[in-house]
Amino acid sequence: MPTSLLRAFWLSLFIGFTFSFAQAAGKPRKSKKDQVVTISTTQGDIRLVLFDETPLHKANFLKLAESGAYNGTTFHRIIPGFMVQGGDLNSKDDEPSNDGAGREDEKRIPAEIRPELTHKRGAVAAARTADVVNPQRMSSATQFYIVQNPQGTPHLNGQYTVFGQVISGQDVVDKIAQQPAAERNRPVTDIKMTVKVEKLKKKKITELYGYQY
Q: What is the pLDDT of residues 140-164, one digit of tens each?
A: 999 999 999 999 999 999 999 999 9
pLDDT for 9 equals: 43
pLDDT of 90: 83
Mean pLDDT of the chain: 87
Write down how long the chain is. Answer: 213
The single-letter code of the amino acid at 122 is G
For 62, the 3-state DSSP assignment is: helix
Q: Is 114 exposed, middle or buried (0-12, 13-18, 19+ CB in 10 A)?
A: middle
- d(CA 140, CA 79) in angstroms, rounded, equals 19
For 211, list phi and psi in degrees, rounded to 5: -80, 130
**124-48-98 Cα angle (round to 5):** 50
Round to whole Å and give the CA distance between 135 and 193. 31
Give percent helix, percent strand, percent coil of the chain, each to the nearest 5. 30, 25, 45
Is the pLDDT at 86 greater than 70, yes or no? yes
**How high is the pLDDT of residue 93?**
72
* Residue 26's pLDDT band (cuts 50, 70, 90): low
Tell me the pLDDT band of 184, cut-offs 50, 70 and 90: confident
Residue 35 predicted with pLDDT over 90:
yes
- pLDDT score of 111: 98
* Residue type present at position 162: V
